Amino acid sequence: MSQMRETFAAARAEGRAALIGYLPAGFPTLADSVSLIEAMVENGVDIVEVGLPYSDPLMDGPVIQEAAERALAAGCTTPHVLDVVQAVSRLGAPVTVMSYWNPIEQYGPQRFAQELSAAGGAAVITPDIIPEEAADWTSVTDEASIERIFLAAPSSTDERLESVVRSCSGFVYAASLMGVTGTRTSVSGAAEKLVTRLRPLTHLPIAVGLGVSTPAQARQVAGYADGVIVGSAFVRRVLEGRNPREAARGVSQLAADLAEGVRAAG
């Protein structure tokens, strides 16, 4: 069983969903991103999602866009992202990279998969490539023992959902809505319907992302999903911090509150 599957199984054994926390590498600096992710894991995040900063993040809202812009302006590159993965993989939580396809294609898919594996990475989330265009990616990730995570959308046909789950090997990322990332006052009801549609199609864990930002929302999603993905809310805590120490306190508190939320659902 892979590290990712083991983590989901351990959470399930505790009667709860896994908490997945996102932060871009290099934000606000390389060293700070490592320290902040460490704080997230120490306070209850089960799976780490490291963002690969990209100049044209079509699916990301203004909060994550600002973080990516800051990381890129500070000189964050793909090798730096892999350095962050290597640094945080020692924490014991599975590490997945969230990346648009263009940076991976430019770096070389085989090289990226192999170097990610060597750095201790477990998986890659690719939000903008569809399974029909990912045959080579499937081959190189299988060779490198890197798990693939594709997105399932509420608007997807049953045929599309079947294709997505067949191509996933880590977990299935169920997008709670059609739109960009960002915190919201409530989680779309489409999320639960999408999870219900996915259940008969796969034995893989199903994690819900986009829009989850509060303990109450985490508890709600944990009631029907295997994983709860939180991104913009963590990034916002860093942006609101007046210094690295304050940012770390904000991230730590949010992680602890969200961890309590997913446990309360059980």
CA distances from 62 to 22, 141, 235, 239 (A): 15, 31, 11, 12
The total of other beta-carbon atoms located within 10 Å of residue 156's CB is 18
CA distances from 168 to 68, 151, 155, 196 (A): 26, 9, 18, 17
Note if 60 is an active site residue. yes
Q: 168-171 long-range CB contacts below 8 Å, 24 or more apart?
A: 168/202, 168/204, 169/123, 169/141, 169/204, 170/2, 170/4, 170/96, 170/122, 170/123, 170/204, 171/4, 171/8, 171/204, 171/205, 171/206, 171/207, 171/226, 171/227
Cα separation, 32 vs 172, whole angstroms: 29
Q: Out of 32, 46, 60, 115, which one is annotated catalytic?
A: 60
Q: Out of 32, 49, 115, 147, which one is annotated catalytic?
A: 49
Note if 257 is an active site residue. no
Q: Which residues are CB-neighbours of 156 under 8 A, at least 6 positions away?
A: 164, 194
Cα separation, 37 vs 18, whole angstroms: 16
Q: Which of 255, 264, 199, 217 is nearest to 19 (CA)?
A: 255
Instruction: Please give the span between the terminal C-alpha atoms of the chain, in angstroms, as a whole number.
Output: 24
Active-site positions read 49, 60
